[in-house]
Amino acid sequence: MKYGGQGHQPCQFGLPGAIFLLYRPTITKVFVLVRSKKDKSGDERITEVLQTELFNKVREENPKSLEKVIPINGDVAYDELGLSKEDAAMLREDVSVVIHSAANVNFGASLHDVLKINVGGTKNMLDWAKQLKYLKAFVHISTAYSNSDRLDIAEKVYPNQISPHAALQLCSLLPTEILTSISPQLRRGNIMPYTFSKHLAEILVDESRFDIPVCIVRPAIVTAANKEPIPGWVDNLTGFNGMGSSRWLGPSQSTEWLLLTTG
């Protein structure tokens, strides 16, 4: 990563962006790849995020750092990330670190949907990153459950019976309902389409290690912040966050929970 006058870094925003602005003040720019959503443009979405309490500490300690945030209209689902020619040319010259955390994290999503974003989107990001002149690192945010079909998991990328390239071909050729019907056979023990897609995405990243410097991060369940930037802060109610809120604050207070362990 380059700092000072040459330090530029794109990342998906939210908590990672707050951390960079707080603890890496020498970063000169944070490019944010963001797509329009519903009735809001990418710029409007970023403006809303920067106004949340998540960035209160940034505003108090280093308000000028918010000026480093540069929204870039794009979408990982498209070739060349859907970038304009002007933005593409600028990013090729200015970006030195890529953090790829965009993903479909809906555990109930169809195999078609998660393959398109989590595998196809990762391929698009890698293809784009290989064009960057000063790339120092491509950091891929995966999940601790990408190899949920294994009992013992080492810090390595495991092969799969189907390649990510073949999976993407199936995604483009087969109707969604047919792909859904053969999902269990394709996954072979991987607990859900989401984790299966993240496994295939890891394989894509690993294949690119000969072309660019890559890193795979496997976080476990993401829940509320312990201390920084705000104790107890969380930006959504998916997964455990939703279950916990429902259990302790909402309609499920009277529900009995059973803890199951193995071993």
The whole-angstrom separation of Cα 71 and Cα 76 is 14
Decide which of 3.40.50.2300, 3.40.50.720, 1.10.287.3510, 3.90.1170.20 is the CATH code for 4-248.
3.40.50.720
Backbone angles phi, psi at 154, to 5 degrees: -95, 170
Q: Band of the pLDDT at 62, cuts 50, 70, 90?
A: confident
- Tokens representing residue 241 in the block: 């966050």
As a whole number of Å, the CA-based R_g of the chain is 20
Please give the pLDDT value at position 243.
60
pLDDT of 241 higher than 70: no
* pLDDT of residue 247 exceeding 80: no
Q: What is the pLDDT of residue 21?
A: 64
- Entry pTM: 0.83
Dist. CA 80–CA 141, nearest whole Å:
20
Q: List pLDDT tens digits, range 94-113.
A: 999 999 999 998 888 999 99
Whether pLDDT at 3 is above 50: no
Model confidence at 6: pLDDT above 70? no
Which tens digits make up the pLDDT trace of 169-217? 999 999 999 999 999 999 988 999 999 999 999 999 999 999 999 999 9
239 vs 154: CA distance, rounded Å: 25
What are 69's strand-pairing partners? 30
Tokens of 145: 């459950």
The 3 state secondary structure assigned to 160-195 is: CCCCHHHHHHHHHHCCHHHHHHCHHHHHCCCCCHHH
Domain boundaries of the chain, sorted by first residue = 4-248
What per-residue confidence (pLDDT) applies to 24? 72
Give the DSSP per-residue string, the chain.
---GGG-EEEB--SHHHHHHHHH-TT--EEEEEE--BTTB-HHHHHHHHHTSGGGHHHHHH-GGGGGGEEEEE--TTSGGGG--HHHHHHHHHH--EEEE------TT--HHHHIIIIIHHHHHHHHHHTT-TT--EEEEE--TTTTTT-SS--SSPPP-SS-HHHHHHHHHHS-HHHHHHTHHHHHTT-SSHHHHHHHHHHHHHHHGGGTS-EEEE--------SSSSSTT--S---HHHHHHHHHHTSTTTT---------
pLDDT at 222 over 80: no
pLDDT digits (tens, 9 = 90+) for 12-39: 444 565 566 666 767 888 888 988 888 8
